[in-house]
């Protein structure tokens, strides 16, 4: 699982817009040379390396041993530790900055993680959270009703799919002040995000789609009836989404609707910066 996740993250990280967004998170931390910053849920460690280039002491923490192994292999000079967001292996008031990128949607108890952030931050220290709201993915599809089911079904597979929209209140409740929110929209039209798009449909399919009238499976077998709506043949659904993206790079020759992007997904990303009490 980690290998697939790392490949996907690597692909997303390489996009220019993602690099700009990461840089923005570093700026928001307002670190001074010599400060210590922790990147919680650091994954393969790219942000830790980029932060270290800013003359600060960067520590990467991740609960996954596999992730930390990959991070250490890629960047042997950097400081990576196995650490849980709920119980960070750090002293009280040890760090001036706390960053978590695409992590809080995986936490069942974000308030507990923020209490831990408050513990490890120095007075006046800053926190930056960034992540996608999983219910706010917009896909240009010929089957909007099915697409909505797929997006929501995928979101429901996430522990905390709407964590990003809750950042502000979570931070205020945790005692942070001067909390600010920024929303960024990413528009993806090329093949880079094809795996994410098809993965969305496949993951939703594996779990079955949720429907107000009852649970309906996205595959529906051979047109099997279902509660709350007509059966949706899964292979067609996945193929459809896949084709809409796959056709996009060379649309002129192959697709009559080539003048507009065949598929686009927007992802809202929000983050907060607040100073610690
Ligand atoms: C989607 S990845 C993002 C990785 C990295 N921040 C990035 O932007 O590429 C989420 C990471 O959070 C880690 N994670 C999940 N729950 C965690 C927890 N309780 N404490 C620390 N890390 C956690 C996962 O192991 C994974 O590496």
pLDDT in tens, 226-263: 233 333 334 444 444 444 443 333 222 223 233 333 23
- Give distance in angstroms: CA of 138 to centre of ligand 1: 24
CATH homologous superfamily for 2-133+160-185+269-275? Vaccinia Virus protein VP39 (3.40.50.150)
Distance CA 193, CA 8 (A): 8
pLDDT of residue 208: 67
Task: Pick from 48, 49, 62, 120 the residue to mutate for probing ligand 1's pocket: most ligand atoms within 8 Å of its CB.
Answer: 62
- Note the pLDDT tens digit of each residue in 12-33: 898 899 999 999 999 999 999 9
CB of 103 closer than 6 A to ligand 1?
A: yes
Task: Pick from 12, 22, 40, 63 the residue to mutate for probing ligand 1's pocket: most ligand atoms within 8 Å of its CB.
Answer: 63
In the chain, domain spans? 2-133+160-185+269-275
- Check whether 90 has a pLDDT greater than 50: yes
CB of 41 closer than 6 A to ligand 1?
A: yes
CB of 2 closer than 6 A to ligand 1?
A: no
Q: What is the mean pLDDT of residues 203-223?
A: 49
Helix, strand, coil % in the chain, rounded to nearest 5: 40, 25, 30
């Amino acid at each position: 699982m980690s290998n697939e996740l790392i490949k996907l993250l690597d692909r997303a990280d390489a996009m220019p817009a993602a690099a700009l967004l990461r840089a923005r998170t570093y700026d928001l931390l307002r670190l001074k040379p010599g400060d210590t910053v922790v990147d919680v849920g650091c994954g393969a460690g790219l942000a830790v390396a980029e932060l270290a280039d800013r003359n600060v002491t960067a520590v990467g923490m991740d609960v996954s041993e596999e992730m930390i192994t990959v991070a250490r292999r890629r960047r042997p000079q950097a400081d990576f530790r196995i650490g849980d967001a709920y119980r960070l292996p750090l002293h009280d008031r040890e760090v001036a900055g706390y960053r978590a990128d695409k992590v809080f949607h995986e936490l069942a108890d974000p308030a507990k993680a923020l209490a831990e952030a408050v513990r490890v931050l120095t007075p006046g220290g800053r926190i930056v959270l960034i992540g996608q709201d999983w219910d706010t993915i917009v896909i240009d599809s010929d089957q909007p009703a099915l697409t909505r089911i797929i997006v929501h079904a995928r979101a429901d597979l996430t522990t905390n799919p709407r964590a990003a929209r809750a950042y502000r209140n979570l931070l205020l409740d945790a005692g942070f002040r001067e909390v600010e929110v920024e929303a960024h929209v990413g528009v993806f039209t090329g093949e880079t995000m094809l795996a994410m798009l098809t993965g969305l449909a496949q993951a939703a399919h594996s779990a079955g789609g949720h429907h107000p009238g009852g649970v309906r499976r996205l595959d529906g077998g051979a047109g099997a009836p279902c509660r709350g709506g007509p059966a949706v043949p899964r292979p067609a659904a996945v193929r459809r989404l896949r084709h809409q993206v796959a056709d996009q790079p060379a649309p002129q020759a192959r697709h009559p609707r080539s003048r507009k992007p065949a598929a686009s997904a927007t992802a809202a990303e929000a983050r907060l910066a607040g100073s610690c009490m």
